[in-house]
Amino acid sequence: MLNTVFYDGPDATPLLIAHGLFGSARNWNVIAKRLSATRPVTVVDMRNHGASPWFDTHTYPEMAEDLAGVMDQKMDVLGHSMGGKAAMMLALRRPELVQRLVVADIAPVAYSHSQMGPLDAMRAVDLSVVDDRADAIAQMDGLSEPLIQFLLQSLDIKNKRWKLNLDVLAAQMDKIVGFPDVVGSFDGPTLFLSGATSDYVQHSHRDRIKELFPQSYFAKLSGAGHWLHAEKPRKFEASVAAFCSV
């Protein structure tokens, strides 16, 4: 079962949060705590991330079943990027478990880009000589400072290991940036919340989105890119809270 972090809240439809690639539950602790003012919130470490188990595969049907495994009632579900694809797959395969769905800056399509750059940078770090964050940063040339700081949240310096199954994530990258062929639809309310400066959710994706999620709505956060929840956390929280309170 996935590692979970629970934030207690008033009696209302609980919220489940699934993070994106290279992330973890800890990335969402501030947002989750604020959202728990109106409902219980559970945040997971996805498979091959954080404190959750490592597996030899990393597919969206498997990630959807992982999410289902931590749900004991119908919940609202929020997923960002990879977690958004997993949340969509959950809603399509197990609609009885999902009340409302919030998909943060991702579409149910295959992308042509790869995330091998950050992954290769992490694999290239010689952990045997890393005694503090500065030692790791010195070995991660070519990445932006914000990206490095984000990735370092998954570095266990004491035990000299990444809390990410880097080899499996590399081997499964085509599945991570892709999206399986699926049939059927999820008829519950679905919000596709995107960063205004991001190109992950394009107008050309809307026909496919509407086919799979007929009750879908679209909104953009001004001044935000793909990492909209980190760049505009207050606007992001307000959008999620408003949608889930309808």
Q: Which residue of the set 120, 167, 187, 199 is catalytic?
A: 167
Query: Whole-angstrom Cα distance, residue 167 to residue 152?
Result: 17
> Token pair of 187, please?
């008829």
Query: Whole-angstrom Cα distance, residue 101 to residue 48?
Result: 23
Query: Whole-angstrom Cα distance, residue 27 to residue 19?
Result: 8
Judge whether 199 and 207 are in contact, CB under 8 Å.
no
What are the beta bridge partners of residue 43?
Answer: 5, 17
Q: Which residue of the set 58, 80, 226, 229 is catalytic?
A: 226
CA 55 vs CA 19, 47, 87: distances in Å: 17, 7, 19
Q: Which residue of the set 24, 36, 81, 198 is catalytic?
A: 81
> Token pair of 196, please?
């205004």
In three-state secondary structure terms, 105 is coil
Query: Whole-angstrom Cα distance, residue 60 to residue 41?
Result: 22
> Where do the DSSP E strands lie in 49-146?
75-80, 98-104
Is 58 a known active-site residue? no
Is 128 a known active-site residue? no
| Catalytic (active-site) positions | 81, 167, 226
